[in-house]
């Protein structure tokens, strides 16, 4: 049971990390797009 809980926590952490990475990438992409439009 402890092992299963640990595995579940690991999966949740990996998933949240993936979502966090996607969110950060999206924000960076938007920022770059806005900066590019302002500069150009």
Note down pLDDT in tens along the chain; length 40 residues: 556 666 778 888 899 999 999 999 999 999 999 999 998 7
Distance between CA 37 and CA 40 in Å, rounded?
A: 5
Query: What does the pLDDT read at residue 12?
Result: 86
Query: What does the pLDDT read at residue 8?
Result: 76
Distance between CA 17 and CA 23 in Å, rounded?
A: 10
Query: What does the pLDDT read at residue 23?
Result: 94
Tokens of 5: 């809980």
pTM, entire model: 0.56
């Amino acid at each position: 049971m402890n092992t299963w809980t640990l595995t579940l926590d690991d999966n949740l952490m990996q998933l949240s990390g993936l979502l966090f990475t996607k969110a950060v990438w999206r924000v960076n992409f938007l920022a770059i797009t806005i900066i590019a439009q302002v500069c150009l």
